[in-house]
Amino acid sequence: DKAMNMLHTGEADIIAHKLTITENRKEKVAFTNPHYSVKQVLVQQKPENWRYMEQDQIENYLIRNLNDLHGEPVHVRKSSSHYTRLKHLSDEIDSNINIIEENGEVNTEALIKRVALGKIKYTVADNDIASVNKSYYPILDIKTEISKPQQIAWAVRKN
């Protein structure tokens, strides 16, 4: 949010940070050519004793069907593309996902860490960020995709 404000007030000329190109953001900023694509994934914790379980037991514990998110608390930043995707997903599957809005100061890595430590059940992250964090926290599962590929780019003022 701060970067967008700096861009619009002229304090900055470019947001050189990975931003998902969304229709909402296109109304506010212009984007560079896309750098690459990512998918958004559900970040969840495997069962505590997952190392001693059969793979099918672990799979049965985890959310794989997005309809199973009905009523489940998923923590994301309100200003993020993850929030927008969850809102759309909730409409698509005609379900009520319990989206917990975190303030703009909380970053994705902090939310992933909270899942790894068992402080929250779920968050959403881009698969590249989730994959890096999974290497630090092997208890995490990041296989459940919640989006199609989305383009990542930098942003500049429309003028």
Q: Are 40 and 150 in contact (CB under 8 A)?
A: yes
Long-range contacts of 53-57 (CB under 8 A, 24+ apart): none
Strand, coil or helix: what is 114?
helix
- Work out the average pLDDT over 99-126: 95
Question: What mean pLDDT value characterizes the chain?
Answer: 94
* Residue 122 main-chain phi, psi, to 5 deg: -140, 150
* Residue 11: predicted pLDDT: 94
% of the chain exceeding 90 in pLDDT: 82
Which pLDDT band holds residue 127 (cuts at 50, 70, 90)?
very high
Quick one: pLDDT band at residue 2, thresholds 50, 70, 90?
Answer: confident
Q: What is the mean pLDDT of residues 28-33?
A: 94
Q: Specify the pTM.
A: 0.86
Q: Is residue 104 pLDDT above 80, yes or no?
A: no
How many helices (H) does the chain have, and how many strands (E)?
6, 9
pLDDT score recorded for residue 95: 83
Instruction: Check residue 79 and give its pLDDT.
Output: 81
40-45 and 122-126 strand pairing: antiparallel
Which backbone phi and psi does 93 adopt, to 5 degrees?
-95, 10
Residue 117, SS3 per DSSP: coil
With cut-offs at 50, 70 and 90, classify the pLDDT of residue 107. Answer: very high
CB 58 within 8 A of CB 48: no
- The count of C-alpha atoms lying within 13 angstroms of the C-alpha of 54, restricted to the half-sphere facing its C-beta, is 3
Tokens for 136, please give them: 């630090």
* Residue 158 contacts residue 21 (beta carbons within 8 Å): no
124 CB-contact burial (10 Å; exposed 0-12 / middle 13-18 / buried 19+): buried
